[in-house]
Amino acid sequence: MKVVFPDHLLQHTGGEREVELLAVNFRELLLALDERWPGIEEVLAKCAVAIDGQIYQDAFLEPLHNDSEIFFMQRIEGG
């Protein structure tokens, strides 16, 4: 699956914008990312994430597929 980071997170990924990974759910994906870039899980916990077009302010065990697209993004609030 494709995982994409926005510009403001590149400082945590050594400048890598996009990675290919395998995980069965979002929780596993976070653990895999944290293994690659220790400490990034804490940063990503404060982000929203779009999984296949749907925005999750707080994703947890959402299932992922091999062709899923995952975009981390700033959390949105509102008035």
Partner 1 sequence: MSEAIDYKVIGTRPIRPDGVDKVTGRAQFGADLNLPNMLYGRVLRSPHAHARLTRVDVSKALEMEGVYAAISRADFPENPSDLGKNIMARDKVLYHGHAVAAVAAKSLICAEAALALIETSYEVLSPVLSLDEAMADDATLLDDECFTKNLPETPDKPSNIAAVMTLSRGDVEEGFEQADVIVEGDYNIPMAHQGYIEPHACIANINESGQGSVWTCTQGHFEFRALTAKVLGMNVADLKFIASEIGGGFGGKTTIYLEPLAVLLSQQARRPVKMMMTREEVFRASGPAAGTHCKIKVGARNDGTITAAKAWLAYEAGAFAGAPMGPGAMAVFAPYDLENFHVEAFDVLVNKPKVAAYRAPGAPQSMHAMESALDELARKLDMDPLDLRMKNAASEGTQAPYGPKFPAIGLKECLEAAKVHPNYTSPVPEGAGRGVAVGFWFNVGMQSSAEVHINENGTVTIIEGNPDIGGSRASMCLMAAETLGVPYEQIRAVVGDTESTGFSNVTGGSRTTFATGMAVIQACEDIIGQCKSRAAATWGVDEDQVEWEDGQAIPSPGVNADVKPLTLADIAGNAAKTGGPLLGRASLNAQGAGASFSVNMTDLKVDRETGKVDVLSFTAIQDAGTAIHPAYVEGQMQGGAAQGLGWALNEEYIYDKDGVLENAGFLDYRIPVASDLPMIDTQIIEVPNPRHPYGVRGVGETPIVAPLAAAANAIRDATGVRINDLPLSPPNILAQLDNA
By CB under 8 A, name the binding residues for partner 1. Answer: 4, 6-8, 10-11, 15, 50-59, 62, 69, 71-74, 76-79
| CB-nearer residue toward partner 1: 45 or 55 | 55
- CA-nearest of 42, 45, 70, 74 to 58 is 45
Distance CA 77, CA 30 (A): 23
Query: Closest distance between partner 1 and the C-beta of residue 47, in Å?
Result: 11
Query: Closest distance between partner 1 and the C-beta of residue 39, in Å?
Result: 15
Distance CA 5, CA 44 (A): 10
